[in-house]
Amino acid sequence: MKNYRVYLCGEDNGTRVIPHIECDQADMHTPEPPGYTQWHEWADAMSETHRQTRCQGTCGLLCVWVPK
């Protein structure tokens, strides 16, 4: 049996994207980092000062962050 390794690389370089741009309320979505690990680090830091709320648009996803 072979041992496999997964490498998740990259750093948060400040690039932000609007998630689910096809939503009719996409302008309310909070811009977020595009990378997997970068997003999780960013979300962990954001959870200290913000809370996630559902988008009131067509997507209905938890992609709007508001200050606590």
Tens-digit pLDDT profile for residues 3-50? 887 666 667 788 899 999 999 999 999 999 988 889 999 999 999 999
In terms of pTM, does the model score above 0.85? no
Cα 5 from Cα 8, distance rounded (Å): 10
CB–CB of 32/41 below 8 Å? no
**CA separation for the pair 19, 51 (Å, rounded):** 16
